[in-house]
Chain A
Amino acid sequence: MREYKHKLLGYLRREILPTTHCPGCGCGQVLNAFVNAIDDLEIDPKNIISVTGIGCSSWIPSPYLKCDTLHTTHGRAVAFATGVKVIRPQANVVVIAGDGDLAGIGGNHLIHAARRNVGLAVFLVNNYIYGMTGGQVSPTTPFGAVTTTTPYSNAEYPLNIAEVVAAAGANYVARWTTYHIRKLIAAMKEVLQKKGFSFIEIVSQCPVSYGRRVGLRDGVAFMEHFKKSSVGVGTAENMSEEELEGKIVVGKLVERDRIEFTESLRRINESCQGRAAGE
């Protein structure tokens, strides 16, 4: 019998498949979109350095993606990646991580990396929950949601992390969901070609640790929910705050062309030519 082989399987460490993600999880869709994006752009995985933190979303590229990978500590991926990018500016330095990782424990690094405009491609997979640890409330969990640490109701409002990153000064910010897979691939391709800090919030589903407590028990239910709840940025501009309640605004939120951080550093170094120490 002829063995079935997906055309993009060569990008993965085949020997360790299948992934550890739960049934219905959005992480596989994100991996699929990312591999499609690098395949379309003909980016050699040799030129990618993937930097991740801790959480389900950090397992999307690491260790499955066959490229150089740095799997770091919780929340710090963006800071590690900044060090990598300064030393290897020609590499595609990619961070794929979750809402707990990037918006929670690592929120400060995210804001300041966006402010610095360091040339990272950052994909925040927002599944509204700490999935790996069993479904605890996260900084992006909707108000009123039931989780294992908000067993009655979430008393906190969620962080609009994409708008935070846009306000911090990133060169590119978009939001898509795992339902909008073609739009997501197109946006990923833009991010991978953009200089400066480039960011996509990918709203994703966690049926096992989040969905089952809020009435979305499988991946299909989530896809329908994302389809129904999404509003394009253009449409959203003419909607009131009440009308936008519970909606997911999708599309490109910002695009700028400020100078990339490591490029600035190199220009400074060039301006310091021609002296000897001790002069």
Chain B
Amino acid sequence: METARARQYLSGLSGKMRFALGDEAAAYGALVGGCTFFAGYPITPASEVAETMAQELPHVDGYHVQFEDEIGSIAAVIGAARAGAKAMTATSGPGFSLMMENIGYAIMTETPCVVVDVQRSGPSTGQATKPAQGDVLQARWGTHGDHEMIALAPNSVQECFDLMIECFNLSERYRHPVIFLMDGEIGHLRERLAFPNLADVHLFPRGDFDPADEPGLIKPVREYGKGEAVHITGSTHKEDGMRDVVSQDVHESLITRFCAKIDRNRKNIIRYEERFMEDAETVVVCFGAASRAALGAVKRARNEGRKVGYFRLITIWPFCQEKLAGIGRRINKILVPEMNLGQLAREVERFVSVPVVRVSKIGGVPHSVEEVYAAIVRETS
């Protein structure tokens, strides 16, 4: 929504209802979130994000470019972002792996941008058309070196839209790449999407500061085109941007600030959903596609009088460790249904002392309500 023309065009969506794909909803969230540049490379199950952006960006004075690969795509996204645009790409596991080096570049240069990863079954080509949730740790640790990460995971078509706007706002606010950790199940799910009144949507302007954030950790954005000879480098650099790759203290203070700007503002970034938690003795911790079956299973268990709670991570990274540690002190057991072999469970285990039971399922078929319910019955009997 950068220009008058874009506002005029997108205002046609205000208050409308649509039967949309998750991928399409993510694309519309990006457009409403102010995105005017998309670069990507075709890959299942993320291609519909690119197709929607290619169709809509020309109407909002924006640009879609299909690149020769995912490395070039994320490079162009960062270039466009440095040139002043809100920019994004969308891919799946194989392409996400290729993007890792330049995601690190975006961290190092404090460049806002959004990377959508519509997760599919891996490693390698795996089950190319089947959904999975196997990139939880790649999102966190895929690029080399010390860093934090911001990653959000939707579990509905509506959230693909709503959280995408959040992704852009967070990336601008923290001058950091944000991963939108979708999955093939949600990306290819078709359900109701209700557009808000666009006048009510808050967009975080480039270079702005939020008074809620700890002062000093987030720096002014150095913009091109102002005659300031701005030097941006992926090398370790001093406050003025000039390279210094030999001084231990320069590197240490730079990287610890990058980490602190996310870590010390965790409370401003983290979002989650909790239900049936008041008297819960067992809690199902989940995110994304698996959380839909989890909620059905928890409701069924509740109907039968089992004291089971539901806790869904919306922000995957930074991790909601204080919250989970608090839950862990009140309950007896945690179940983690996820479409991988325990990547989220592994992280949960680090912060609680109660048993964490994996309810993993891989192979491209999401959990059924019955499967999660059976695990609840087994673990609470």
Contacts and interface: CB of A to CB of B under 8 A. Distances in A.
Interface of A: 13, 16, 45-46, 49, 51, 62-63, 66-73, 76, 79-84, 86-88, 91, 108-109, 111-112, 262, 265, 268-269, 271-273, 275-279
A82 B67 CA distance: 10
A59 B331 CA distance: 58
Contacts of B105: 72-73
Contacts of A73: 75, 101-102, 105, 234
B194 to A, nearest CB: 12
A88 B58 contact: no
Contacts of B36: 87
A16 B36 CA distance: 37
A71 B56 CA distance: 32
- Interface hub of B8, B39, B71, B85 (most chain A Cβ within 10 A): B71
Chain B interface size, as a band, is 35 or more
Contact of A109 (B63, B68, B243): B68
5 contacts: A46-B226, A62-B233, A73-B234, A87-B79, A278-B12
Nearest to A45: B229
- Interface hub of B11, B79, B228 (most chain A Cβ within 10 A): B79
B48 to A, nearest CB: 17
B9 A275 contact: yes
A143 to B, nearest CB: 28
Nearest to A77: B75
B84 A79 contact: no
B69 A86 contact: no
Contacts of B214: none
Contacts of B234: 71-73
Interface in B96-148: 101-102, 105
Contact of B225 (A13, A62, A91): A91
- Interface hub of A45, A62, A73 (most chain B Cβ within 10 A): A73
A277 B56 contact: yes
A63 B58 contact: no
Given A62-B231, A81-B79, A88-B225, A108 B72 contact: yes
Interface of B: 5, 8-13, 16, 18, 36-37, 39, 56, 58-59, 61-63, 65, 67-69, 71-73, 75-85, 87, 101-102, 105, 224-235, 242-243
A276 B225 contact: no
B76 A63 contact: no
A112 B80 contact: no
Ranked 6 nearest A-B pairs via Cβ: A83-B79, A276-B12, A83-B76, A79-B75, A87-B83, A83-B80
Nearest to B28: A277
B83 A88 contact: yes
Contacts of A67: 229
B83 A112 contact: no
A101 to B, nearest CB: 13
Given A71-B234, A79-B79, A63 B243 contact: yes
Contacts of A46: 225-227
Nearest to A47: B225
A63 B235 CA distance: 11
B229 A83 contact: no
Given A62-B231, A76-B75, A269-B58, A83 B68 contact: no
A17 to B, nearest CB: 13
B232 A83 contact: no
A243 B228 CA distance: 51
Contacts of B83: 49, 83-84, 86-88
A87 B80 contact: yes
Contacts of A84: 79-80, 82-83, 224
A142 B2 CA distance: 51
B63 A265 contact: yes
Nearest to B113: A83
A68 B79 contact: no
Contact of A112 (B8, B67, B85, B87): B67
